[in-house]
Amino acid sequence: MSRDQQWDDADFDRESEPRRGGRDGRDDSHAHARHQPGDTPYPRVRTFARRGDRMSDTLERTFEKYKHAYLLDLERGTGVTMVADTARLDPRIVFGREAPLIVEVGCGNGEQITAAAAANPDINYLGFEVWMPGVAKAVSSAVRNYGGLANLRLADVDALQALPILFADFAASGGRDAASVVVDDDIYAVRAVFARSRGVHEVPMGMPADSELAVVPGSESADSPEESAGFGLAPHETGANPRGTNPRGTNRKTSAQAVGIISELWTFFADPWPKTRHRKRRLVSPEFAGIAAALLVDGGVWRLATDWADYAWQMRDVIESTPGLENVYAGERPDEEDPAGPRGGFAPRFEGRVRTAFERRAGREGREVRDLCARRVLR
């Protein structure tokens, strides 16, 4: 979402209610289906701030017309950006095919993910974004700039909370925090560990229901996808397992069979939360790194970029301290300002990354953009 905002403490620790009474007295939450049950969600520290859901009339009309082809209809939890414990997502059903999956967390207005999806039709792309005008702009871009993208889907939920739940059937244990307990029959533990990691010790529990897959219209393409999970990787970045899916090809994976589902994970220009007291809100943390390690296929990569130096150092430290992940460029491109000394650990600019407004702004303001690349080691 846009970072043209003030980073303060107001209202960031709880889910905000859908905004009412927009222009002409209309309900601004309208067809986004963001009305939720009356339950108060349990408190949690959030890595994003939801502000400014208002859209132009033209954008709103385009979104309303085409959103059903792109926006996933996920089972919701107690908060407007939270999924239910029973929510599941199988990319093979969502996209109507089996292909490598690239996930972007915080896709903003869709500049990056729509360009990549258009350039690589044999790859499936899933973007997470809670800023609804950004989601609408991504949909509009897919339709107006590229004539429609059958390999793109969007989710307007908190990826940190949703990823380990939606992909629980594909996650391999062995990570840390929430990721270490993501197995088929232990969703209670997923929610409990997630809550504890956010400083909550009493978690509302309920009887689990049968898993249901989120289904939206899939791709009409019947072409065989490329089997390489190393799409977009340089030779030294590619791992030993080339497939982006479970080689057993089962419809439901047990915890013993699960080998991840994401071929590439992207977190480009996540909110930097520059104030010291806000750094606990940063997305790239040991918790999220554990989720990444659990959901990446063997040899899959996690690509990151930021224009905030201390966040780049934090990203590097998180990657290098997470079991199951290795820094592909460990020791390279040392930074003289790095408080850890000439450790380095930064990647060359990812050629597949679009030069977005964030990066252009960073250049104007004299901030250096640093890329990182982590790889999931063999299990």
State the catalytic residues. 271
Dihedral pair phi/psi, residue 194, rounded to 5°: -60, -45
Pick from 47, 38, 40, 39: nearest CA to 12: 47
Cα 302 to Cα 78, 107, 237, 328, 374, distances in angstroms = 30, 15, 11, 10, 5
Using a 10 angstrom Cβ sphere, with 0-12 exposed, 13-18 middle and 19 or more buried, the burial of residue 294 is buried
Q: Are 212 and 223 in contact (CB under 8 A)?
A: no
Q: Which residues contact 49 (CB under 8 A, 6 or more apart)?
A: 1, 5, 7, 12, 271
CA distance 187 to 210: 11
Cα 317 to Cα 23, 90, 194, 281, 311, distances in angstroms = 46, 32, 21, 16, 10
Secondary structure in 3-state letters for 70-113: CECCCCECCCCCCECCCEECCHHHHCCCCCCEEEEECCCCCHHH
Q: Are 154 and 24 in contact (CB under 8 A)?
A: no
